[in-house]
Amino acid sequence: MIVFTTNFGDIEIELDMKQTPVSSRNFLKYCQDGFYDGTIFHRVIKGFMIQGGGFTVDMQEKP
């Protein structure tokens, strides 16, 4: 279980290591390396999806 702490509360994310081992390990590595620290959710569609990690709070694109 991964927990994202946001200004609006925590978001719990469960990875399906059995069905998506490569993507799960990749995402976990980004989290452990702090890649998402200081980034924002720049696209939110309620009840469907959130997209983030690509931009900082001042809308600078992450390399």
Kindly report the average pLDDT of the chain as a whole number.
93
- Location of structure tokens 């959130």: 50
Mean pLDDT of 38-52: 92
pLDDT in tens, 12-38: 999 999 999 999 999 999 999 999 999
φ/ψ bin of 48: left (φ > 0), alpha (ψ from -120 to 50), beta (otherwise): alpha
**Cβ neighbours of 22 (radius 10 Å):** 8
Q: So where are the chain's domains? A: 2-56
